[in-house]
Structure 1
């Protein structure tokens, strides 16, 4: 994934966004791949609107109730209103990201929100190491609040 040029990823996502037949997407496999490589892809593509368009088509969706979710985000992205797609029901996991990986460049922020069912693009995969992550449309999340700020590492 990292050996592929960013422009090729952007072209690929542009193509996927134009596909009219959603049956071509292996939605559960794409969900698994996004949970592993989504952050790297997002950094390469640098177009959350395009990414969101593809994720809406390519992910399995969600039919459950709304849930309260948490995310550990970098202060830099939060300050630019570029909140990421992956969220968890576990505050302690989100805090780990806010204090750690997402605090490296600018410090971290722990976020809390309510995700109505229409904001959730995929529910956690059961029986996997990523079995706590919801993939969401950040623009549809409600009652977003900061729960804590953490220094730059």
Structure 2
């Protein structure tokens, strides 16, 4: 026969086990079991502006660099998580790049976390900022549509000394991933490229600085 205190203890134990099971179930559905907590910020499409503009940006940068190192050593456990990461990378990669501020680390991570491209070499274009181009800091987002590169070179990336359209023939082993469904929906057809594996990058056009 169970006493009153025994029943209370049993109920608490059942509640705790149920809570633990719900947490484990949610983590399993999201493919987050064993992954760093900050990963959820990416997969859920979290905001990066407050982190970049806030007074603790250096602390956040250290945390996000640590995350990138962990992800570079730990591939996603399912194609669903890889696809979700792929979509959110296309949505917020420019913010993540600014927050991490380490392109080498980002590219190492992307080889593990994006769905691997499987196709031929491609003629690709990128709308880049001229200042970053001069420093050799060329981003990972390229398109097979020159019009898309023109849009970014004359718009978002036309700061400082202006923007440029870059052109390359990317070998298959330099293309990390093809366009996500989201990128195709936007008409950007974004290929993620490891610039370290490109032999030649040509500057095709230069755009004046964007007016504030």
2:77 aligned partner: 24
Tell me the distance in 2 between the aligned counterparts of 1:33 and 1:13.
Answer: 15
TM-score (normalizing by structure 1): 0.91
Displacement of 1:131: 5.4
Are residue 78 (structure 1) and residue 133 (structure 2) matched?
yes
Structure 2: gaps of 5 or more residues: 1-46, 52-59
Are residue 109 (structure 1) and residue 164 (structure 2) matched?
yes
Structure 1: gaps of 5 or more residues: none
RMSD: 1.6
CA displacement 1:83-114 (0-9 Å, x = unmatched): 00010011111011111110123311110001
Q: Could you say what secondary structure the match of 1:84 adopts?
A: coil
Does 1 or 2 have the higher relative contact order (CA < 8 Å, sep 6+)?
1
Are residue 142 (structure 1) and residue 199 (structure 2) matched?
yes
TM-score (normalizing by structure 2): 0.67
Q: Could you say what secondary structure the match of 2:186 adopts?
A: coil
Q: Which is higher, the Rg of structure 1 or of structure 2?
A: 2
Runs of 4+ in structure 1 over 4 Å off: none
Indicate conservation of the 8 Å contact 1:68/1:112, yes or no.
Answer: yes
Displacement of 1:16: 1.3
Tell me the distance in 1 between the aligned counterparts of 2:73 and 2:145.
Answer: 35
Indicate conservation of the 8 Å contact 1:35/1:130, yes or no.
Answer: no
2:122 aligned partner: 67
Q: Compare the two structures and name the one with the higher strand fraction.
A: 1
